[in-house]
A and B are shown apart, each in its own frame.
Chain A
Amino acid sequence: MIPSKFDYVRAESVEHVVQLLQDSDGEGKIIAGGHSLLPLMKFRVTEPGKLIDISRIPELKGVRLERDRVIVGAMMTHREVAENPIIKEHIPVLSDAARLVGDIQIRNRGTIGGNIAHGDAVADLPAPALALDANLIISGEDGLDVINIDGFFLGPLITALPENSVVTSISFEIPPSNAKSAYLKYFHPATGYPVVGVAVVLGVNSDGLADYVRIGITGSGDVAYRAKSVEQELIGKPLTEDVITQASKLAADDGDIGSDLFASETYRRNLCSVYTRRAISSLLD
C-alpha cells in the first residue's frame, strides 16, 4: 500500500500553518497524527501534493480550565486525553471515549484535533464532543474563529472547516455538578471503530427528574449527531425503565442512518436505541 508522491514540511507555528496552506494552491494538507490521513493516502483515495506537519507546534498542546469550560489543544493525543486529570475530573466522558479509540499505538499517535477535523462518520470523539457542546477554535486566513460542533459535520469526511485553516483547540462545556456521564460503544469487529457510540451526559434533580440531558451519537449516521429527540423526551421526567426505553426508541431519529456490508439501516437504528438505553440505564443506581 504505497501512497503517491508528496512533499513534506514541518510547520513552526499556527500562523506558519495557515501561510503554508495558502501557499500550496489547494495541494497542502495538514497532518497531525496521520492515523486517518495516511491510510487514505495509501489507498490513494486522497493524493495531497504536500503534507504540513503540525505535530511540533507547542501552542497546539495542553489542557486548561477556563471558567465553565475545559480547553484541549488540538494536538493532544488520544492517550493524553484519556489520562489527563483535568479532563477526567470535569469531562470524564471525553476520556472514557478516548480510551476506547483503536489500540494503544493508535492512541499514542492519533489526536483529538485530527479525530474531529477529519469528519469521519465513525470516529469516536464526535459523540462526547456533541454531548459536551464543544466549540472548535480555529485559526485561518481571517484570524480566529469559533465553530460549534453541532453543525460542524456536513457529510462523510466533509466539515464546515473553512479552507486554509487549522483547529487549534477544542473547548468543552463542563456539565452541571449533578451530572453523570457514560460512553458506550459497539465495536465494529473488523476495524474497532464504533458501529454505534453513544455519549450521554445526564443530570437528575432532587425530585428524581432529569434536568440536564445531552446525548451525542456517532458511528451509525452519515455524520455524528445530537439525539435531541431523546433529550427532549427525557427532560423533566422521572427516569423509569419505561421512560428510558420509550425515549431511546427515538435515538436514530436525528441521524441520517445508513447501510453497509456489515449492517443495514434497520439494524443500526436498533443499535442506536439499544445502546442509548443501556448508556442511560448505566448511570442510574
Chain B
Amino acid sequence: MAGKVGARIKRKEDPRLLTGNGYFSDDIQLPGMLHAAILRSPHAHALIKSINIEKALEAPGVVAIYTGKDLEGKIGRIPSSWLIPGSNLKEAPQYPLAIDRVRYVGDGVVLVIAEDRYGVRDVLDLIEVDYEFLPVSVRQKEAMQENAPLVHDDIENNIAFHWKAGEVPDEEIEEAEVVVRESFNVQRVAPSPIETRAAIGQYNPGNGELTLWCTSQNPHIHRMVLSEVLDISEAKLRVIAPDIGGGFGGKIGVYPDEALIGYAARDLKQPVKWIEERNEHFSAANHGRDEIIDVELAGTRDGKLTAIRVKNTANMGAYLSTFGPGVPTIDFGLMITGAYDIPKAACETFGVYTNTTSTDAYRGAGKPESTYQIERMIDLFAREIGMDPVELRRKNFAKKEDFPFTNAQGLVYDSGDYEKPLNKALEILDYKKLREEQEALRNEGKLVGIGFSTYVELCGFGPSAVAGAIGFQGGVWENATIRVHPSGKVTVFSGTSPHGQGHNTTFSQVVSDKLGIPLEDIEFVFSDTKAVSMGWGTYGSRSVAVGGGAISIAADRIIEKAKKIAAHELETSVEDIEFEDGVFKISGVPGMERKFVDIAKSANYAWNLPEGVEPALEAQAFFDPENFVYPFGTHIVVAEVDKDTGQIELKRYIAVDDVGRVINPLTSEGQVHGGIAQGVGQAMWEGIVYSDQGQLLSGSFMDYTMPKARFFPTIETAFTETLSPVNQLGAKGIGETGTTASIAAVMNAVVDALQPYGVTDVEMPLTPEKIWNIIQTGGENDDTI
C-alpha cells in the first residue's frame, strides 16, 4: 500500500462525474420547491424612487415578492470577513437588497418567488422600478479625487481603507544608482467558473432548522456568517456545498443572494431554489483584481537590488466583499519583494469604493499581482543596466543557505532553493541556443520574445494567531476526523471543501500510505456543516498543506491507538509493535502480527480492549500550522508576434514548480495547467470592461474572452521538490502557482518580443490591436497604449 504518495493516480472522483452521476445544486429537487429570481439594477448608481409590483403580483404562479424595504430589519447586513487592522477601514453596510439606492449594475433590487423556474424569470419583466440617476465613480484613481461622486455618502473620497507596510525613505530611491519606475494596471477579471452560483433553502418549521445548499468554497464560513445575518442559531443552520463546478475564489464570498434564499425558505416554509443565470453572474458575482500598481525599484549598476516601493490603488467595488480587503494588502503587500533579497521594501495600498461589482480573491489573490509587478520590474531593471534578466534574478535570489528566509516585509519563507527550478527550466528550454535563434529571427524581421517569471507565493495560511493579527475574521487551522469502520474501511471527514481540485484522490493517497489500506477503502465527507464539525474551506492553496496536515495527524492518532490494541492482543508492550504497510508486528518475531482490518474489528467490537482504551477506532485532529508555506518556481514563455496583425502565438510554455512534496504528479499537472490558463487568460484575453457610466460592457461570453485549449502550446511541466518544514507531508500549495507565475511570464515575453520598438509596458489584456498599434507607431505612443 505504501508509495501512493508521489504516484500518478487517476482521480477517484472522475468516474462519478464523467458518467453524469454528480450531484450539483441544480440537480436538487425537493417536494414543493419554489423558484427564485432576483431583479437587478441596470444602473451603476441611482436612487430608487418607487417600485411597482402590481402587475407582477398578478402573474401566474407568483408566491411572494420582496423589496429591500420589505426586508429591512429582517435580514442583517452582509459583513466583510477581512477587516485589515490599522488601515482606518470603513465598511459600508451592505443589505441583501438595495433599500433606496443602487450602487452597481447587478445590485439586487427585488426578490421574486414563484412556482416554476421559467415563470419566475418572466415576472421580473413585469416589475417597474423608477430610478433617479446619480453621478458615478467607476475607476479607482478618479474615485479618490476631491470632487468625485461618493458611493457611500459618509465615506470620504471613497476610501475604504489605507494600509501601509514597511518603510523606504526617499533617499533610498533618489540616491540609488539606478531606479526603474513603472505603473501597471492589473485589470479586472471575472472568475467565470463553468457553474454559476446557486442556493437552495429548506426550512423545517417543526424544529426551526434551516438547510442551505449553496455553491460555497467554505460552508462553515457561510454557516458562521449567515447564522448571524439570518439571526438563527448556528446549531440550527446546516450549510451544504454539493458538487461544485469550479470556484476560483468567486465562491468564497458570503453573498446577499444566499441570505435571501435562506430567508425566503424560512419565511414561506417551503423550499426555494435559486440558480444564477450566466449574464447575472457576470454582474453580481465577485470579480477579481482591478489594481493599479505603481512601482519604484532601486539598485546598483552592477545589479544589486536595494529597495522597492509600491503603491497599490485597488478597486473594491461598491461594497467590501468577504475576503476583499485582504487581497491588495496582506496578500499583495507583504510579498512585493518576490523571490529576491531586497533589503528595503514598502507598500501602501488604497482600497477604493466605486460603482462596480465588488472584487474579492481570485485564484492567487494578491500574489499574482505582486509577482506580476516584481517580475516585470526585474526585466525592466535588467534592460536598464544591460544585464541578462536571468543573471539579474540569480544575483538577487534569496540564497538557499538563508532559509528560512525573512523578507523585507517580515514574512518568513519556510523553505526554498530558487536556483533549482530555474536551472531545470533553462535546461528544458535550451536558453543559450534560443537567445541566438531570437537574434537571428530579429534580423529577419520576426518578433520573438522570451519571458521569465521566477516566482514565490504564499499560501496555506497559518497560524491562526497571525490570521487574527491581520484582521481575518476566523481561524486558518484545519480539522480532520478519521473513522475506521468495523470492516476496516475508512471514512474521513475534512473541513476543506473541494470544488474540482481532486481532494478525494490526493487525500486518499495520504491516508492509504499512513494506514496501509487500499485507496478504494477510503471515502470522504466534505462540505456539510452537520457532518464535519468545523473547518475553513478551500481557497488560498491550503487544502493539502493544512487539511492534509490535519489528516496526517489524525491518521497518526489512529495508528497510536491501534498499536495499543495490537500490543494487547499480541501480549506484548506497545513499544515492541511496529506498524508497516497495514500490519502490526512484533519487531524481530515473525508471524506475530495483526492486520489493520483485524484491529478495526476488535476496536469496534470491544470484546477485549486493553485497560483504559475506549472502544471504536476514530480520531480527530485540529492542525494549526506554525507558518505559511511558500511554493516557488520558474515559468518561461516563448512568444512570437505577427507583425501584420499583432496576434501573439505562444510557441512554448515551460513550468517548473517546486511545491514541496508532490502528492500526485497527475493532478498536480492538472492544477498547473489550469492555473496557467487563467493567468495567461488575464495577460492575453480576459478583461471586465465598464463604460464611464458604469455600464458593464463585457457582460457575456460574446465579449469576455475565456482562454481555450487551442490557444496554448503543450505546457511543458516539471517539478523540483524542496520540502516544507511546516507540515508532516512537506507539501506546499499548488492550486494557484500557475496563475501567480504565468501573467508575468507572458508579459515579459511579449515586451521582450517588442523590444525593437522600445516599449516598457503594454496594458493587459494584450489584444492584438494594442500590439499592432505599437508596431504601427514604432512604439512612439508608448504611454497611450
Q: What residues of chain A have their CB less than 8 Å away from a CB belonging to chain B? A: 1-2, 4-5, 43-44, 186, 189-191, 261-264, 267, 270-271, 274
A261's contact among B646, B647, B698, by CB below 8 Å, is which? Answer: B698
Task: Say yes or no: B277 contacts A2, CB within 8 Å.
Answer: yes
- Report whether B278 and A1 are in contact in the complex, using a CB–CB cutoff of 8 Å: yes
User: Given A190-B702, A274-B645, are A1 and B279 also a contact pair (CB < 8 Å)?
Assistant: yes
Answer yes or no: B388 CB below 8 A from chain A CBs: no
The B contact surface, by secondary structure, is loop
Query: Are B122's CB and A190's CB within 8 A?
Result: no
Docked Cα-Cα span, A44 to B125, in Å, equals 10
Contacts of A186 in B (CB 8 A): 645, 647
A189 adjacent to B644 (CB under 8 Å): no
Q: Across the interface, do A190 and B117 meet the contact criterion of CB distance under 8 Å?
A: no
Smallest beta-carbon distance A247→chain B, Å: 16
Cβ–Cβ < 8 Å partners of A1 in chain B: 277-279
With A186-B645, A190-B702 as contacts: A4 and B685 at CB distance below 8 Å: no
Task: Find chain B residues with CB under 8 A from A264 CB.
Answer: 769
Contact of A263 with B769 at beta-carbon distance under 8 Å, contacts A189-B705, A190-B703 already known: yes
Partner of A262, one of B706, B711, B767: B767
B125 touches A190 (CB 8 A): no
Nearest-neighbor residue (CB-CB) of A273 within chain B: B644
Contacts of B277 in A (CB 8 A): 1-2
Residue of B nearest to A195 (CB): B768
For residue B121, which residue of chain A has the nearest CB? A2
Contacting residues of chain B (739-753) with chain A, CB-CB under 8 angstroms? none
In angstroms, Cα B118 to Cα A262, docked, is: 33
User: In the assembled complex, how far is the CB of residue A193 from the closest CB belonging to chain B, in whole angstroms?
Assistant: 9
| Complex Cα–Cα for A186 and B769 (A) | 13
B711 touches A189 (CB 8 A): yes
Interface size for B (C-beta < 8 A) is: 30
Give the interface SS of chain A, mostly helix, strand, loop or mixed: loop
Q: How far is the CB of B384 from chain A (nearest CB, A)?
A: 32
Pick the contact of A5: B122, B698, B702 (CB < 8 A).
Answer: B122
Over the window 670-711 of chain B, the binary record of Cβ atoms lying under 8 Å from chain A Cβ atoms (1 yes, 0 no) is 000000000000000100010000000110111111101001
Q: Which of chain B's residues have a CB closer than 8 A to the CB of A271?
A: 645
- A190 CA to B117 CA, complexed, in Å: 29
Interface residues of B in 618-650 (CB under 8 A from A): 644-647
CA distance A262 to B765 in the complex (A): 11
Q: Are A261 and B703 in contact (CB under 8 A)?
A: yes
Verify if B397 is at the interface (C-beta below 8 Å from A). Answer: no
Supply 29 A–B pairs (Cβ within 8 Å), ascending by A. Answer: A2-B117, A2-B121, A2-B277, A4-B122, A43-B279, A43-B700, A189-B685, A190-B685, A190-B702, A190-B703, A190-B705, A190-B706, A191-B702, A261-B689, A261-B697, A261-B698, A261-B703, A262-B703, A262-B767, A263-B767, A263-B769, A264-B769, A267-B646, A267-B768, A267-B769, A270-B644, A270-B645, A270-B772, A274-B644
Within 8 A of A (CB), among B93-137: 117-118, 121-122, 125
User: What A residues does B711 contact at CB under 8 A?
Assistant: 189
CB-CB contacts below 8 Å: B276-298 with A: 277-279
A107 and B689 CA atoms in complex are apart in Å by 31
Across the interface, which residues of B come within 8 angstroms of A44, CB to CB?
Answer: 125
Residue of A nearest to B707 (CB): A189
Chain B positions near chain A (C-beta within 8 angstroms): 117-118, 121-122, 125, 277-279, 644-647, 685, 689, 697-698, 700-706, 708, 711, 767-769, 772-773
Cα of A189 to Cα of B766 in the assembled complex, Å: 12
A2 is contacted by which of B118, B645, B768, B773 (Cβ under 8 Å)?
Answer: B118
Complex interface: chain A residues within 8 A of B125 (CB)? 4, 44
**A106 smallest CB distance to B (angstroms):** 14
Give the chain B neighbours of A43 by CB distance below 8 A. Answer: 279, 700
Tell me the complex Cα distance, A267–B698, Å.
20
Q: Is the CB of A5 within 8 A of B118?
A: yes
The minimal Cβ–Cβ distance linking B310 to chain A, given in whole angstroms, is: 30
Residues of A within 8 A of B279 (CB): 1, 43
Chain A residues with CB under 8 A of B121: 2
Cα(A263)–Cα(B701), bound, Å: 16
Residue from A4, A43, A189, A267 having most chain B Cβ neighbours under 10 A: A189
Smallest CB-CB separation from A196: which chain B residue? B645
Q: Which residues of B contact A2 (CB under 8 A)?
A: 117-118, 121, 277
Find chain A residues with CB under 8 A from B689 CB: 261
Q: A1-B277, A270-B645, A270-B772 are in contact. Are A190 and B118 (CB under 8 A)?
A: no
Task: Give the shortest distance, in Å, between A192 (CB) and chain B (any CB).
Answer: 8
Which chain A positions have C-beta within 8 A of B698?
261
Q: Which residue of B lies closest to A186 (CB)?
A: B645
Q: How far is the CA of A2 from the CA of B769 in the complex (A)?
A: 35
In the complex, A43 Cα to B121 Cα: how many Å?
12
| The 5 residue pairs across chains A and B that have the minimum distance between CB atoms | A190-B705, A2-B121, A267-B769, A189-B705, A274-B644
Question: Are B769 and A190 in contact, CB atoms less than 8 angstroms apart?
Answer: no
Pairwise interchain contact A190-B644, C-beta atoms closer than 8 A: no
Residues of A within 8 A of B767 (CB): 262-263
Nearest neighbor of A267 in chain B, beta-carbon distance: B769
CB distance from B785 to the nearest CB of A (A): 13
**Docked pose: A42 CA to B392 CA in angstroms:** 54
Q: State in angstroms the CA–CA spacing of A5 and B61 once bound together.
A: 14
15 more CB-based (< 8 A) A-B contacts, given A5-B118, A261-B703, A262-B767: A1-B278, A1-B279, A2-B117, A2-B121, A4-B125, A43-B279, A186-B645, A189-B711, A190-B701, A190-B703, A190-B705, A191-B701, A261-B689, A262-B703, A267-B772
Q: Which residues of A contact B700 (CB under 8 A)?
A: 43
Determine the distance from Cα of A44 to Cα of B118 in the docked complex, in whole angstroms.
13
A-side contacts of B706, CB under 8 Å? 190
Complex: how many Å from CA A249 to CA B768?
19
Q: How far is the CB of B211 from chain A (nearest CB, A)?
A: 26
Distance (whole angstroms) from the CB of A85 to the closest CB of chain B: 28
Chain A residues closer than 8 Å to B697, beta-carbon distance: 261
Residue numbers in B under 8 Å from A261 (CB-CB) = 689, 697-698, 703
Closest residue on chain A to residue B645 by CB atoms:
A274
Contacts of A189 in B (CB 8 A): 685, 705, 708, 711
Of all chain A residues, the one with the shortest Cβ separation from B119 is A5
Q: CA separation between A263 and B769, bound complex, in Å?
A: 6
In the complex, the chain B residue whose C-beta lies closest to that of A263 is B769
Closest CB in chain A relative to B68 CB, distance in Å: 24
Q: Name which of A2, A264, A271 has the most chain B CB atoms within 10 A of its CB.
A: A2
| Chain B residue, CB-CB nearest to A190 | B705
Rounded to whole Å, the gap between the CB of B99 and the closest CB of chain A is 27
Q: Report the minimal beta-carbon distance from B769 to chain A, rounded to whole angstroms.
A: 4
Q: How far is the CA of A5 from the CA of B121 in the complex (A)?
A: 10
Given contacts A1-B277, A5-B122, A262-B767, contact A190 B704 (CB under 8 A): yes
Output the nearest chain A residue to B278 by Cβ-Cβ distance: A1
CA of A261 to CA of B708, assembled, Å: 19
Q: How far is the CB of B191 from chain A (nearest CB, A)?
A: 16
A190: chain B residues at CB < 8 Å are 685, 701-706
Cβ–Cβ < 8 Å partners of B708 in chain A: 189
Beta-carbon nearest neighbor of B117 in chain A: A2
Q: Which residue of A lies closest to B689 (CB)?
A: A261
B703 proximity list for chain A (CB < 8 A): 190, 261-262
In the complex formed, the residue of A with least CB distance to B703 is A261
For the complex, what is the distance from the CA of A201 to the CA of B121, rounded to whole Å?
49
Give the CA-CA distance A267 to B642 in the complex, in Å. 14
Which chain A positions have C-beta within 8 A of B278? 1
